[in-house]
Amino acid sequence: MTSQTRTAARSNWSRVVRPAAYLLGIAAASATCVALAFGTAKDEATRISQDFYDTTGLVMNFGWWWAICVLAVPVYFVARSYPRLAVVAFLTPVVPLCASAHIFFIRFGETGWGDGLEGLAYIYAGLATLTFAGVATWGFIAGRRRGASHLPLSR
């Protein structure tokens, strides 16, 4: 293998495979958090007093759902290193999060405990969407300023 061939192979790795691996890692982490949120949920409501029940973790364990916020860091770095992939980096954790809010809404209504407030799960999904959009935009701007356009999508 000549040095020119090795350089071309490294170039392909950094242009295509590396950002794809980063995005797949973010997607896998996001999907794992959603799966753990549903998998570690309580089986039944907890009775607090004669008339009150705690249904907080009935369908979903929200601790794992909040863990998705940690993915803002890799979203920023992918958007900064590969500005042309900023939208994809933004959508990668958001799609499983919004899907889980919808699944939560449906499952909670099926338990019989639903009173309409389970629709508030969409508020968190919306706020997380705004957060990831802001982080990806911030990374996009920072990447454009430093001239990091590693992935030639228009060639």
Of the candidates 64, 71, 46, 69, the residue with the CA atom closest to the CA atom of residue 56: 46
- Provide CB contacts within 8 A for 42, sequence distance 6+: 57, 58, 61
Of the candidates 49, 66, 44, the residue with the CA atom closest to the CA atom of residue 113: 44
- Provide CB contacts within 8 A for 58, sequence distance 6+: 41, 42, 44, 45, 108, 111, 113
- The total of other beta-carbon atoms located within 10 Å of residue 153's CB is 9
Lowest-confidence region among 1-5, 32-36, 110-114, 136-140:
1-5
Give tens-digit pLDDT for 92-107.
Answer: 999 998 998 888 888 8
Of the candidates 17, 113, 16, 129, the residue with the CA atom closest to the CA atom of residue 68: 129
Compute the average pLDDT of residues 9-18: 69
**Residue 111 pLDDT exceeds 50:** yes
Q: What's the pTM?
A: 0.77
Q: Is 46 helix (H, G, I), strand (E, B) or coil?
A: strand
45 vs 150, residue with greater confidence: 45
Burial of 58 (0-12, 13-18, 19+ CB in 10 A): buried
What is the predicted pLDDT for the residue at 18? 86
Compute the average pLDDT of residues 33-54: 80
Give tens-digit pLDDT for 119-145.
Answer: 888 888 899 999 999 999 999 999 988
Q: Is 111 helix (H, G, I), strand (E, B) or coil?
A: coil
**Average pLDDT, whole number, for the chain?**
82
